[in-house]
Amino acid sequence: MLPPKSWSFSKHSDFETCKKMFFLKHVDRIPEPERPLPPGKSEQANDRGTRVHTSCELFVNGTEDVLCPEADKFFGWQLELMRLQHAEGLVSLEGEWGMSKDWEIADWKTAWLRLKLDSLVFHSSTEATVIDYKTGKKFGNEVKHSQQLILYILTSFLRYPQLERVTGELWYLDQNEVTRQTMTRDQALRFKKNWDMKGNAITSCVDFPANPSVFTCKWCAYGTHAASHYAAAGTGHCLVGVRK
């Protein structure tokens, strides 16, 4: 079996949760069962997230003049400001960042690391803020999101050698909350070795054992049980999943 060629932050999260789930989802690419609509909702959370992200992007780049209500509610004025900054050439909306195994800029299609980010705002030639919009809840995701922020900050420094100071921000659009972390280049580069090890662990892996537990199996689509957000049982590709 050949190891995976690339990784991303979400793949890293799945890999840490359960390697078998990672394998079924990202290597075998087994489709997940369709999810029932949440009670009282008219669209899936993923579809909603995509719609809100697209609205923000089209508003900031000037294609659309009206934001979707979800983004407008708490972050309308920040996005309006970003739109003005974008018109002045201070915002990059180049959302697909590819990096090679040597942490050099690479083509997205063949990249070792692939990151999708929402915007990078340049305050000066040496200072920038990298921003990721979040729909859904912050509670319970704090550790994961903090790791993501560090990877975004590190990659910003590696892609833009002139930067000396980078702030990472997660905008929780539904909750009017921002998680923020600022680093100098030296501080961020201390995390490179760790992320290098994590990326190499994924892209050299040829054995994907299951890691069953109440917590890891809770959201997995591949067990025989009904995971939290699926009405029916999972696909049954994993027979050792833990039921609630």
Q: How far is the CB of 20 from ligand SF4 (least distance, A)?
A: 4
Alpha carbon 22 to chain centroid distance? 15
- CA-CA distance, 208 to 206, in Å (whole number)? 7
Beta carbon nearer to ligand SF4, 18 or 56? 18
Rounded CA separation 200/109 (Å):
18
- Does the footprint of ligand SF4 cover residue 238 (CB under 6 A)? yes
CB 4 within 8 A of CB 203: yes
Nearest to 173 by CA among 32, 86, 51: 51
Q: Are strands 177-184 and 119-122 parallel, antiparallel or unpaired?
A: unpaired
Taking the least distance from each CB to ligand SF4, the nearer of 84 and 239 is 239
User: Binding residue for ligand SF4 (CB under 6 A) from 27, 211, 226, 235?
Assistant: 211
Least distance from C-beta 208 to ligand SF4, angstroms? 9
Stretch that binds ligand SF4, among 1-9, 40-48, 100-108, 209-217 (CB under 6 A): 209-217
Per CB under 6 A, which of residues 98..157 are in contact with ligand SF4? none
Q: Which residue is nearest to ligand SF4 (CB)?
A: 241
208 binds ligand SF4 (CB under 6 A): no
Least separation, in Å, of the C-beta of 230 and ligand SF4?
Answer: 12
Q: How far apart are CA 6 and CA 11, in angstroms?
A: 9
State whether residue 184 is helix, strand or coil.
strand
Give the residue with the Cβ less far from ligand SF4, 22 or 122: 22
Separation between Cα atoms, residue 108 and residue 200, nearest integer Å: 18
Site for ligand SF4 in 3-42 (CB under 6 A): 18, 20-21
What number of chain residues touch ligand SF4 (CB under 6 A)?
A: 14
**Least distance between ligand SF4 and beta carbon 130 (Å):** 31
Locate 152 and state its tokens.
């975004």
What part of residues 214-233 is at the interface with ligand SF4 (CB under 6 A)?
Answer: 216-217, 220, 222-223
Which pair of structure tokens corresponds to residue 201? 């662990």
| Residue 143 CA: distances (Å) to CA of 13, 179, 226 | 11, 11, 26
Measured in residues, the chain has a length of 244
Q: Which is nearer to ligand SF4, 25 or 86 (CB)?
A: 25
Residues at the site binding ligand SF4, with contacts judged by CB under 6 A: 18, 20-21, 210-212, 216-217, 220, 222-223, 238, 240-241
